[in-house]
Amino acid sequence: MTKPALTLYLAAPRGFCAGVDRAIKIVELALEKWGAPVYVRHEIVHNKFVVDGLRAKGAVFVEELEECPEDRPVIFSAHGVPKSVPAAAEARQMVYVDATCPLVSKVHIEAQRHAEQGLQMIMIGHKGHPETIGTMGQLPAGEVLLVETPEDVAQVEVRDPQRLAYVTQTTLSVDDTKGIVAALEARFPAIIGPHKEDICYATTNRQEAVKAVAPKSDAMLVVGAPNSSNSRRLVEVGAKAGCQYTQLVQRAENIDWRALEGISSVAITAGASAPELLVNEVIDAFRVRFDVSVEVVETAVERVEFKVPRVLRQSADTSTAPPA
């Protein structure tokens, strides 16, 4: 039987960003340097395949620092941590490596600077997300006000409308955030925004690429995890850009083939924490069922790279002893 023809639009950029790449390298290098087990506070990035792979090499994933023994190194995830976390690690004299993405750390510094200048901080972010918890946790509890929607902006109660600044989560929808910022500026004309956008280059580029592929595709699949904020935003952006069917899939086995019956085009992208191997797995699954022609749609070229912390930069075999 001949297979139906399918044009597969492969969005670029997609998948791993520089912060994810660095965070995974940090865990791998820590395992080389100190041996197993190395503890990781929270999923290093929001991807089960990545986490399972590192677990198999000896990483132990926990949610709280209290679950880690004092005599083993601990790594903080790419999403960032409240200030209280490294402080508690220091108090317990633990060896820790911070894998917070430098672009998240930039937002942390920004929030602290504004607060030092006497400005009250508002954060645009998703409640309960580890990055939001980490950024808000750079200042004492209750100091940062969280808004998620323009409706929240109408309700928020500030100390002094003349002395306000805002920061955002790095993985928000670029377009939805514009609406929230517009609401903030309309209600608080004196509010100060970030020097340079807090939404990171990887988020922006992946959303732009989706806007290029989604409108011409009968369906769009985003490879990524349900707890990956940036991946979920890609699904929403695809739907808003006019794609009739958008789905988040962790693996090829999650594809709902019934829903894809009769399509002649599909767009595929991946969140910043999804390995390319899983994208290839999805493409291969399409090849089994369709006569696929792949068209790469590239809207930006990324050359961003972040160095790993100095403690892990020297060759792995210079110190195999566990930390003192």
Nearest-angstrom CA–CA distance, 32 and 42? 20
How many residues bind ligand F3S, per CB under 6 A? Answer: 15
Asked if 146 interacts with ligand F3S (CB under 6 A), we say no
The answer to whether 169 touches 132, Cβ cutoff 8 Å, is: yes
In the complex, what is the shortest distance from the CB of residue 110 to ligand F3S, in angstroms, rounded to a whole number? Answer: 13
Q: Which of 131, 208, 261, 298 is catalytic?
A: 131
In order of 97, 105, 233, 266, the CA distances from 310 in angstroms are 10, 17, 33, 43
- Using CB under 6 A, pick the residue from 11, 17, 68, 237 that binds ligand F3S: 17
295 is catalytic: no
> In a 3-state reduction of DSSP, which class is residue 53?
helix
Is residue 101 involved in binding ligand 2E6 (CB under 6 A)? yes
| For helices 229-240 and 201-213, angle between their N-to-C axes, nearest 10 degrees | 30
For residue 272, the minimal CB distance to ligand F3S (Å) is 4
If one asks whether residue 230 binds ligand 2E6 (CB under 6 A), the answer comes out as yes
The item of ligand 2E6, ligand F3S, none sharing an interface with residue 246, based on CB under 5 to 8 Å by kind, is none
In 3D space, the residue among 121, 86, 114, 116 whose CA is nearest the CA of residue 100 turns out to be: 86
Q: Interface with ligand 2E6 includes 272 (CB under 6 A)?
A: yes
Encoded tokens for 272: 């910043």
Using the rule CB under 6 A, give the single segment among 34-42, 148-156, 175-183, 271-279 that binds ligand 2E6.
271-279
Candidates 101, 111, 122, 209: give the one binding ligand F3S (CB under 6 A).
101
Q: How far apart are CA 81 and CA 61, in angstroms?
A: 15
Nearest to 188 by CA among 151, 146, 148, 160: 160
Q: In the complex, which residues of this chain contact ligand F3S (CB under 6 A)?
A: 17-20, 78, 101, 103-104, 170-171, 200, 202-203, 230, 272
Q: Which residues are catalytic?
A: 131
